Amino acid sequence: MTMFRIGQLAKLLNVSTDTLRYYEQQGLLAASERSAAGYRLYDEQAVERMRFIVRAKEVGFNLKDIQELLSIKIEKQMHSCEEVKTLTLQKRDWVREKIAELSMFERSLTLLASQCCGGDEPANACSILTALEDLDGTHQ
């Protein structure tokens, strides 16, 4: 089993060692074990967990959100399927809302780009606000 030291994991996932220690402190990612000298050692599972955290961050989840997502596990004895399912679907709906909002932006930006000739002349006719207002009219 390959174990990573903090610097190696940091390099692998393009974060700082400080960030990894901060996440540990925040209860997001503990080192799998410590070496004799007290160095943090991370296994593949920890790497996967960290990959998840990074990805979740990238799409706009904050650390509290991520903790909640990570804690979604089915504990058949402790919680009913219904509870878990409700939490999961709530999160999913939140994600769907975000997607819908982003899609509106995507349309705005695409419309703006299409209205722009893309040539050398001053961009007098190009206005992102106009494009957005146009969308506002049709969507709200």
Partner DNA sequence: ATTGACTTTAGAGTAAACTCCAAGGTTTAT
Partner DNA sequence: ATAAACCTTGGAGTTTACTCTAAAGTCAAT
The interface region with DNA, picked from 1-9, 70-78, 93-101, 111-119 by CB under 7 A, is 1-9
Does the footprint of DNA cover residue 6 (CB under 7 A)?
A: yes
Cα distance between residue 80 and residue 69, in whole Å: 17
Q: According to CB under 8 A, which one of 128, 134, 137, 138 is a site residue for a copy of itself?
A: 128
Residue among 32, 45, 36 at smallest CA distance from 6: 32
Residue whose CB is less far from DNA, 32 or 130: 32
Does the footprint of a copy of itself cover residue 102 (CB under 8 A)?
A: yes
* Sequential DSSP letters for 79-115: S-HHHHHHHHHHHHHHHHHHHHHHHHHHHHHHHHHHH
Strand arrangement of the beta sheet that strand 4-5 belongs to: 4-5, 40-42, 33-34
Does the footprint of a copy of itself cover residue 16 (CB under 8 A)?
A: no
Tokens of 18: 């400080």
Contacting residues toward a copy of itself, per CB under 8 A: 48-49, 51-52, 55-56, 58-60, 69-70, 72-85, 88-89, 91-92, 95-96, 98-99, 101-106, 109-110, 112-113, 116-130, 132-133, 136
